Amino acid sequence: MKPIDYTVMPCSSSDVFAAKLQKPAGLGDDWLEPTQRHYNVEEHRVWDHLYKRQMDILKGRACDQFFSGLKQLDFDAGGVPDFNKSNEILKSITGWTIVPVPMLIPDHVFFYHLANRRFPTGNFIRKPDQLDYIEEPDVFHDAFGHVPLLTDPAFAHYMEAYGKAGWKAIQYNHLKALSALYWYTVEFGLINSEAGLRIYGAGILSSAEESVFALEAKSPNRIHLNVDRVMRTDYKIDDLQQSYFVIDSFEELFKLTEERPFDNIYQNIGASFQYAPSATLDTDHIYTRGTQEYALRGGHASDANPV
């Protein structure tokens, strides 16, 4: 079989089941905006407010690699970081760059950028009345939550491998299964450290409420990552998670993914998820079996306490 050329965008026809997104006028097939936008004083202030709030909460909760990345990238200089400056540093460390996009981009375009070590980053920033929740990833979620870990060589390697895995997910028409892996690792992953569990998922790192809930609440399950199992597990996109998956190291994360031939998974899974977000299995290595109280009381929609 011909080796895949990852410098060419994968083909995604209308036969592949994916969410339809309307591309804004003037953008090419890569969905990239020509430059980072210019942020006004109020927008920089939103970044500074969120940055300070998260830094206070994440002390003793986020993994060391995250703090090391922030420092290397000089993200505490104040205001939304200048992508050009960040890219000079990031590129010299792991070869990754940040590229501005206007909104969520289609899966096949996302895979294409990751496979080539480019991280698509929301160009806009949330409004002051959206500090706690925003549907589409903005520059705070993307740059603060995702980019620092791209300075870690093992994590950087995993992200590229994840992008390359997209070609096979498209071929088998199982994008949702691969998205679940991203969700439970890159967005909501926890990592063991000598000092205890720590956060590395960007969805948690960029959320004040979930930074505490993910580690300390009694509701959610905390389970060791099993790639096959996670790719069969449903997830909630608009509320605190019912299960978090834990890794020992980024090297382990890369190995678990790299060693598992996804063909076997795609050939053996159905069109919908096999396990509910709250499920625990006999085969799970469980750190915490959650009470699920928060979800059972109706979650965010019922204003339930995130306990």
Would you tell me which residues interact with Fe ion (CB under 5 A)? 137, 202
Closest approach, Cβ 35 to Fe ion, in A, equals 22
Q: How far apart are CA 173 and CA 16, in angstroms?
A: 5
d(CA 98, CA 186): 16
Residue type, position 242, single letter: Q
Q: Quick one: tokens of 170?
A: 């498209």
Alpha-carbon distance of 71 to 225, in angstroms, equals: 28
Number of Cα atoms under 13 Å in the Cβ half of residue 195: 9
DSSP secondary structure letters along 212-226: HHHHH-SSSEEEE--
- Closer to Fe ion by Cβ: residue 177 or 202: 202
d(CA 13, CA 170): 9
With respect to Fe ion, which residue has the nearer C-beta, 137 or 290? 137
Structure tokens given for 185? 């690792």
Choice between 32 and 139, CB closer to Fe ion:
139
Yes or no: say if 188 and 244 are a contact pair by the CB < 8 Å rule: yes
Nearest approach, Cβ of 201 to Fe ion (angstroms)?
Answer: 9
Smallest distance from Fe ion to CB 235, Å: 13
Across-strand partners of 273?
A: none
Q: Give dist(CA 151, CA 89) in Å, integer.
A: 9
In the complex, the smallest distance separating the C-beta of residue 164 from Fe ion, rounded to whole angstroms, is 19
Instruction: State which residue, 50 or 290, has the beta carbon closest to Fe ion.
Output: 50
Q: C-alpha angle with apex 58: 44 to 305, nearest 5 degrees?
A: 100
CB of 244 vs Fe ion, minimal distance in Å: 15
Query: Given the complex with Fe ion, which of 146 and 290 has the nearer CB atom?
Result: 146
Closest separation between CB of residue 297 and Fe ion, Å? 27
Nearer to Fe ion, 10 or 137 (CB): 137
Residue 23 CA to residue 232 CA, distance in Å, equals 30
Q: How many CB atoms lie within 10 A of CB 106?
A: 18
Determine the 3-state secondary structure of 180 from DSSP. Answer: helix
165 or 288, CB closer to Fe ion? 165
Q: Name the residue whose CB lies closest to Fe ion.
A: 202
Q: How far is the CB of 202 from Fe ion (least distance, A)?
A: 5
